[in-house]
Amino acid sequence: MKAIIPAAGQGTRFLPASKAVPKEMLPVLDKPMIQYVVEEALAADAREVIIICNDDKPEIAAHFSPSPDLVRSLEHKNNTALAQSVRHAGALPVSFAQQNEPLGLGNAVLQAGDFVCDDSEGFFVLLGDVLVPDNGLLTRMRTVSEAYGNAGVLAVIRVPDEDVSRFGIIDAELISGSEQDGTAVWQINALVEKPLLHEAPSNLAIFGRYLLTPQIMQLLAHTGPGAGGEIQLTDALEALLQSEPLYAIEVDADEGLDCGTIADWLSANIRLAARDAELSKVVSAACDRIF
């Protein structure tokens, strides 16, 4: 299965930090957020990974290119671990497609149409600013897809009422498993992008991981601007429901870390630091000083 990582957005909510550094290149602990996303796709055995990018963000391609001089210099200074981390980032197998204008997530995915059009199997879409550090979610999505005839599967997360209008929201019914132990599988009846709270069919928000069938590309080619004037992947998925079923599984709040806003990014850094033996002491000491 191939993987598409859209990373050509404007990062408006991160300005001015994202003025000259792409949002996806901002660090979460010791590496840029997009490196987590590439590693997650590869951990799920993605055959190829394509990043949707643009000319304003050359830093992303630079990060995934070899830096032999830097590696040599670090090795010369016996910084073996750092040399290895730089070599690793430069050796991750990624390729690139262009989205010349940030017309929306749906339009970004469409730019990878040629990349998946020869395949009859599905492909993953992983948003470049959403992290799943334990790398287990895509495999769970693939298992559910296979159980339901290789259908499309979305990851969803429960959000509070005040956040509903920030996300794509699903209307769905529970068809197997249990909400209590995280095994719930939902069949989607409808999807709506950024609904007003009183129009939202549920609190289940699309979470930035998709397993899609290639048919979505034809629908994206004919999808016009939707919420916020952008070409929305959610609108094409709503159209797809006319011809194919779609399923959803839930992401636990500790499993998935959205980094789309400064507040979310800060929270992701703190939560990941708290899981690290050394950095958790830094978090704890900082909290002791503040609170």
Query: Which range, of 65-73, 113-121, 126-134, 184-192, touches ligand UTP by CB under 6 A?
Result: 126-134
Is residue 281 packed enough to be buried (19+ CB in 10 Å), middle (13-18) or exposed (0-12)? exposed
Minimum CB separation of residue 12 from ligand UTP in Å reads 3
Instruction: Decide: is 127 part of the binding site for ligand UTP (CB under 6 A).
Output: yes
Cα–Cα distance for residue pair 7/24, rounded to 1 Å: 7
Segment interacting with ligand UTP (CB under 6 A) among 3-11, 71-79, 139-147, 239-247: 3-11
Candidate list 32, 104, 195, 256; residue touching ligand UTP; CB under 6 A = 104
Q: Applying CB under 6 A, which of residues 3, 8, 46, 272 lies at the interface with ligand UTP?
A: 8
Least distance (Å) between residue 220 CB and ligand UTP: 12
Instruction: Select the residue interacting with ligand UTP from 1, 3, 4, 6 (CB under 6 A).
Output: 6
**Six-digit token string for 172:** 């769905």
Contact 108, 99 (CB under 8 A): yes
For position 10 contacting ligand UTP by CB under 6 A, the verdict is yes
129 near ligand UTP (CB under 6 A): yes
The verdict on 180 binding ligand UTP (CB under 6 A) reads no
> Amino acid identity of 202?
S
Contact 220, 236 (CB under 8 A): yes
Is position 158 an interface residue for ligand UTP (rule: CB under 6 A)? Answer: no
Single out the segment in contact with ligand UTP by CB under 6 A; choices: 89-97, 98-106, 161-169, 193-201: 98-106
Stretch that binds ligand UTP, among 6-14, 60-68, 83-91, 219-227 (CB under 6 A): 6-14
Cα–chain center distance at 183:
21
Using CB positions, name the residue nearest to ligand UTP: 9
User: With binding defined as CB under 6 A, does residue 103 bind ligand UTP?
Assistant: yes
H and E: helices and strands count for the chain? 11, 13
Least separation, in Å, of the C-beta of 125 and ligand UTP? 9
What's the burial of 242, exposed, middle or buried (CB within 10 Å: 0-12/13-18/19+)? exposed
Total number of residues binding ligand UTP (CB under 6 A)? Answer: 22
* 108: contact with ligand UTP by CB under 6 A: yes
Contact indicator for 93, 49 with CB cutoff of 8 Å: yes
Q: Does 260 bind ligand UTP (CB under 6 A)?
A: yes
> Which of 162, 226, 165, 171 shows the shortest CA–CA distance to 194?
165
- Specify the stretch interacting with ligand UTP by CB under 6 A; choose among 7-15, 38-46, 61-69, 195-203: 7-15
Is residue 16 involved in binding ligand UTP (CB under 6 A)? Answer: no
Please report the beta strands in the chain, taking only residues with DSSP state E, as ranges in sequence order.
2-6, 27-28, 31-32, 49-53, 94-98, 123-126, 130-131, 152-158, 168-176, 185-193, 204-212, 246-250, 257-258
CB 148 within 8 A of CB 233: no
CB 46 within 8 A of CB 57: no
Question: What is the contact surface with ligand UTP in residues (CB under 6 A)?
Answer: 6-13, 23-24, 52, 99, 102-105, 107-108, 127-129, 260
